[in-house]
Structure formats: C-alpha cells, structure tokens
Chain A
Amino acid sequence: MRHLLSTRDLGHDEAVAILDVAEDMADVADREVRKLPTLRGKTVVNLFFEDSTRTRISFEAAAKRLSADVINFSAKGSSVSKGESLKDTAQTLAAIGADAVVIRHGASGAPAVLADSGWIDAAIVNAGDGTHEHPTQALLDAFTIRRRIHGSAARAKALDGVSVTIVGDILHSRVARSNVWLLSSLGAAVTLVAPATLLPIGVTEWPASVGYSLDAALAKRPDVVMMLRIQSERMHDAFFPNAHEYSREWGLGDERLRTLAADSIVMHPGPMNRGLEISSGAADSPRSTVLEQVANGVSVRMAVLYLVLSGMKEGQS
C-alpha cells in the first residue's frame, strides 16, 4: 500500500487484510514487550493542521510501538494567505527525511494533493481531511465491530449481514463518509439517519439507506448504532433549531437505549457531547465500544503504518 487516502479506494480484500494485520498488532498489546522493531529507523511525521489530540496520540502510540521515530508538527493556519503553504511544509518534511506523513487538514483532499504533488515522496496517511474522509477511524470502527461479533475468530472475516445505523451530522462528517464506503464494501448494510439539513445532496446515491427518523431506524433493531458528534456551531447556521430539539429527535438517550437488542453495539468516534447526541447511560453502557474504539485505533494505525512503510518503493526490484 503506497498511501492511505480514503476508504473509497480500498477493495474488500485489501480492507480485510488491513484488519487482519491489525489483529496481529492487537496481540502485541497483550505481550510482555509491547514494542516491535519493525519500523526502526523510519521517521513518521504527524502533520496536524487541525487540533486533534486524540487522533495524534493514537498515531503517535502506533508509530512508537513499531519503533519509528515520531515528529509532531502542529501547523495551524494553512492557506497561502495565513502563512506557510502546504507545499512549503511538505518540502520541509521531505528535506527532514520523513518516510510517512500522517496528515490532518481542514481542507478536503489535502492528503490527496500531498500524495499527487511530487513535493514529497513519503507515504501519506489521511488522518482526517475536511469533510471528506477519516479512513483510519472507519477501519478501527470496522475492526471494533468485527471483534465484537466474531471475537478471537475475527481474522479473514468481513461484515456480511451486519446492520449499521449512523446517526447525526452526515453532511459535515468525514467519519460517516469513510464508514459508508468501508462498511458497505465489507458487506454491512448501512443506514444513515439525520435531519434533511444534515444530509448531503445526492446522499441517496451512496451505498446506504437514508432516513430522517431515529426511532424508525432503531425499530429495525440494527446490530450497530454509531452516533456522530454534533458541532454546536451547526445550530447557529440553522441546520437545526437548538440542542434540545436535536437531542430529542436524534440523540441516543436512555429510553432509546432500552429499545436496542441486548447484543447490539453503541459506537461513537469521540469526543462525545454527553447529553446532546448521546446520554451518559448510553456512552457508559456495556453496549458502548467507545473505549475499545480508542484501544483498537492504535492497533489499526499500527497496521496502516506497517503496510505503507513496508514493501519495495517503486523503482526497486
């Protein structure tokens, strides 16, 4: 794998293979020595144009467990007018000798631009770009679902027949996009639930069913309910009237939690707005995988870093 830019580019088999490698990485976490020498001598740069402590430390832990050198580069303010351009930053990192660049950027497509630009030869891993994709989040979500369903026999399995309902701000969510492409390609049946204001134009052409009512979606007893974080600024942009109404219509509160099947899973990519899109009862229930997701995130990111940094570079034989 040269880069990881989106889950849309991943085929079914490739996705399963990443999840399988992540299983091996997860095993390492249980060992006496939780560190592998695999990426010794490699330099991984965490290039974060947006703050995201969670994602950054997850990638950092992953890289360190693989013995890579990690450089954290926080570069807020990205446009030409605001300071150093993406191009200059990329060329700087190339000069430093980065082997992989994990990039979080507010502009959709920035990782793709970096990968195609010729500014830098490093492997590019998308750690969330604008409202486009967040592929490692979707991979860790798929990994978490697969483990909950198949336990230790998860290897080589996909998600055929699993029903996943994703609830919230689909319009602005890179997590939702990456999950729609990945989970559907792994065979899951994905349902998106949101007010029409928070569904993108053309969403009906996505490989997912779409509905407005959370209660109607929950009545179908989905195996997985994934709640997305709702940004408070959406209220001011008239996507919905206020937090109270949003929570009542699309929040996973204690009452709705009770209607879920006993073995269903409640997911959230974090950070959560407790009391808005998810109640504490739901977030802390045994159905919740919130903390598993965090732990699995490290394994999945180890797998991704291993896969983009191993193998021959083009031109070698």
Chain B
Amino acid sequence: MTAILVRGAGFADDSRGDILVRDGVVAEIGSSLSDSGAQLIDADGLLALPGLVDLHTHLREPGFEQSETVLTGSRAAAIGGFTTVHAMANTSPVSDTAGVVEQVQRLGDAAGYVTVRPIGAVTVGLEGKQLSEIGAMAGSRARVRVFSDDGKCVSDALLMRRALEYVMTFGGVVAQHAQEPRLTEGAQMNEGTLSGQLGLAGWPAVAEESIIARDVLLAQHVGARLHVCHVSTAGSVEVVRWAKARGIQVTAEVTPHHLLLTEDLASGYDARYKVNPPLRRSEDVEALRAGLADGTIDIIATDHAPHPSEAKDCEWDAAAFGMVGLESALSVVQASVVDTGHLDWNDVARVFSRVPAEIGLVPGYEFGIAVGSPADFTLYDPATSRVFGVEHLRGKGVNSPYLSATLPGRVVATLHNGYATVLDGELVDAESVAQSARRTSGAQHG
C-alpha cells in the first residue's frame, strides 16, 4: 500500500511537522521526513486534526434509501473530516437485531470512507415496550456498544432502568433521546414567546430536562453509564453538571446546530430549521457553549438527519424533523465555539474525536495523531471561508440550515486507515476508496 507523506501540517497544540503514513498507521511524525515512494500532501497552512468521530448519525439504510445510504452518508462524513460514524437505529427494519446491525456494518466496511459503527435499538421496533436483543447485537460481528431509541425517548421509567442495567451487562451504554412524550405531543418548536406568536405547538425545555434528571438518578441508582443525546437547553446543562458533581457516570452531547442557531429562524416557517430537539433561545446556545467549554458537555455529535426534499418543501407542521450536518460540522464548530474563544483546537480534538470514541468504545483514537496509531486524521484549512451551498453537500439530503450562510474553514483532506478518502477538498472516488478498504481489511486479516 502506498505510503503518504503529509508535509508541514499544523497540529492542534500549535506545533508543526510532517506526518508519514505507512501500512495504515502513522509511521513517523517529525520535521523534514522523507519517503521517496510516498504520495505527497502539501499541508502548508492546514491544521491536522484526529479523525472526527460522530456518535450520532442517521445513515437511513436499510429502509430509507431515498434519504441516505450507508455509502452516501459515509461520503458526507468523509468530506466533513470524519473517520468514524455511529449509525442510528431508526432504520426500517429497525436495527434491533444482529442481522440488521451486521448488514449496516458490512455496508460501511464495503464503502470504506469511514468506520461505520451501528447503534442498536434499546427496544424492539423503537416502540418502548420490550428490550431488543441487546446481547445478540453486542455479540455480533458488529460488536454494538451503543444502544439508542433515538428519535424516540425511552420514556417508561421502569424500562429505562432495565435498559441501563441490561446494557451494562454487555459493557455498553444507553444513549437517551430525552423527550417526555406527553409534554411534546404535536410539538413543533421551542416553547416560548416566539412559539406563542407563531402559533406553533411548543416543545418545552422541561420535556428534555425532566427526562435527563430522571435518567441520571436512575443511572446512579443502578450504577450504569448513561449518555444523553443532543442536549439543547440551559436547564439540561445544569442537570448534567449537577449529576457529574455527584459522580454519576453520565456523558452528554451537543450538536453543532444547537451551538450556533436559535429559534428565531422558525419565524419564516422555513422547515429547514425544524429539528428535534428544536432550536432554542440564545441563552440556551450560550449555556451549551459554556457547558462544552467547562466539560459538562463531553462531546459534539452531528445528529445528521437527511430527508428527501419533499419532506421539507412543505408547511412546517407537515415537515420532517432534522438537518444534515456531517459536511458542515467542523465549520459550524469553528464558527460557534472556536472563533468565539470557548474551545481551542485541542479541545475540538477531544470533544469531536477522542471522547466520542471513548464513549462508543471505538479503538484507535486514544492518542490522536500519534506514531503507531491508525492513520485516521483530517487536514483542515481554518483560515478560509465560503458561502455554504448545496454544492458542498455530499450526502443525499439537501436539508442543511446553512445554505447561503458564510461559514469558516474547509476540509482539504481526510485519511482513514492510512488511505485518502478526501484529497484537494474533494472526495476520492468510490471505487478507489472501496479498493483501499478491501486491501486494508485483507492486510489486517492476512
């Protein structure tokens, strides 16, 4: 396999150097490295970040291939600088059996753009009634470690307790979509002054906060690990902070869009801004940024949720919840928390690579870009900016809230398992990537 020599990259700690990649791993880091046979990547002015790990991605396959497939979602991930994504379980059939999760993993491996880690459903059919075959999924070739009914909340308190305990048995974690269902029946946007004026049914902050409060206490009681998906309110940050202070094993994620956008965007009834949990007030955005900066919130996750255009090209009530986010994630993180001084690039590497891998029990991300570690990293140009448009999307969904917005930064190259998935700001073609992936897995198994 061809070696790759990255010349003159900047690192998150402000140092600079060359990175030599050979046999899928980082072989050397230093200055003036040379390898006559290596493919050269000029990284002058670029920032090398460890490959991003998304703990919350909707790849839609099987069942909703008109929205996204494992391949198209993987491509969207690679162009966003990701090397691992976790595929949410709300597929059709639901990822609640070993068969489905293995299929998703197989599709991911074949595509080869990123490592696809399937998430298993907590309950059969996401129906919140009966535990799914968690043991079978954990023991399958997909080795599922994260379980979630995302899109739906495990709202039954007893079932949630059992899920926390049972998942712990297999060393996994439950990722809870915290949404009290009765408080959010028909809910359309954040409940507040604006929802009252717009006549859109409110999604109150308390519907999220009350579930998080209940779940951290349950996690404490049974001694389990809990992960909270897409925290969106200032109150949720407070609850998680309180729980951590009590020593409860809770981790929390925030999406890039909740770090940047506010509910005001709903004013024109443009359904691109309809998302679950909804965009909140600017006070919430500030609290989320602060919570991410002080470690209350552990990670950033995209909640990339592609939909076909007809699901957004309609009246607000009828529109689907969700936004695509993989392609724009790093730029939005830069705009919302790096350029605002909340996080430095080391922090970004922590919250968007090392810790999400830790939570998902994905190996290889422990040391970031380090000699001997898998060569999964991305080269990012933070100095540029661009008017974000449909032409920058690589998944099937065009439901991005950032279209026509000016965003900083751009991913120039992404390496996964030592081969390039993105070069010169463009995806490497699918056939070459698939070939590289086959060679890599052949090498590993051989």
Contact = CB atoms under 8 A, between A and B. Distances in A.
Direct contact between A and B judged by beta carbons closer than 8 A:
yes
Interface of A: 8, 78-81, 85-87, 105-110, 112-113, 116-117, 129-133, 171, 174, 177, 200-203, 205-206
A202 B199 contact: no
B283 interface: no
Contacts, number: 91
A205 B198 CA distance: 13
Contacts of B271: 113
B406 to A, nearest CB: 22
Interface in B173-213: 188, 191-202, 204
Interface residues of B, number: 26
Given A8-B197, A132-B199, A85 B310 contact: yes
B198 A79 contact: no
Contact of B318 (A78, A132, A202): A78
A107 B268 contact: no
Contact of A108 (B193, B311, B316): B316
Contact of B314 (A86, A130, A203): A86
A79 B193 CA distance: 26
Interface in B310-334: 310-311, 313-318
A234 to B, nearest CB: 14
Pick the most buried of A86, A105, A108, A133: most chain B CB atoms within 10 A of its CB: A108
A109 B201 CA distance: 12
B197 A177 contact: yes
A109 B196 CA distance: 13
Contacts of B195: 200-202
A107 B317 contact: yes
A108 B317 contact: yes
Contacts of A110: 269, 315-317
Contact of A109 (B194, B202, B269, B313): B269
A80 B192 CA distance: 28
A21 to B, nearest CB: 27
B269 A205 contact: no
Top 7 nearest A-B pairs by Cβ distance?
A: A202-B193, A109-B269, A132-B199, A200-B196, A107-B317, A108-B199, A131-B199
Given A80-B310, A113-B314, A205 B193 contact: yes
11 contacts: A80-B310, A81-B318, A86-B314, A107-B316, A109-B198, A109-B316, A113-B269, A131-B199, A132-B198, A206-B196, A206-B197
A67 to B, nearest CB: 32
Nearest to A108: B199
A139 B198 CA distance: 19
A280 to B, nearest CB: 31
A212 B204 CA distance: 22
B381 to A, nearest CB: 35
A51 to B, nearest CB: 18
B314 A85 contact: yes
Given A78-B318, A202-B192, A129 B199 contact: yes
A87 B199 contact: no
Contacts of A86: 314-315, 318
B315 A202 contact: no
Given A113-B269, A130-B199, A131-B199, A202 B194 contact: yes
A245 to B, nearest CB: 23
A77 B188 CA distance: 19
Nearest to B318: A79
Given A79-B318, A86-B314, A105-B315, A201 B268 contact: no
Nearest to B310: A80
Contact of A201 (B193, B313, B317, B318): B193
A82 to B, nearest CB: 9
A38 to B, nearest CB: 31
A132 B192 CA distance: 14
Nearest to A81: B318
A303 B107 CA distance: 61
A79 B318 CA distance: 5
Pick the most buried of B188, B270, B314: most chain A CB atoms within 10 A of its CB: B314
Contacts of B196: 171, 200-203, 206
Contacts of B269: 108-110, 112-113, 116
A84 to B, nearest CB: 11
Nearest to B271: A113
A85 B191 CA distance: 27
Contacts of B197: 8, 177, 202, 206
A110 to B, nearest CB: 4
Pick the most buried of B199, B270, B310, B311: most chain A CB atoms within 10 A of its CB: B199
Contacts of A81: 318
B30 to A, nearest CB: 56
Contacts of B191: 201
Interface in B276-325: 310-311, 313-318
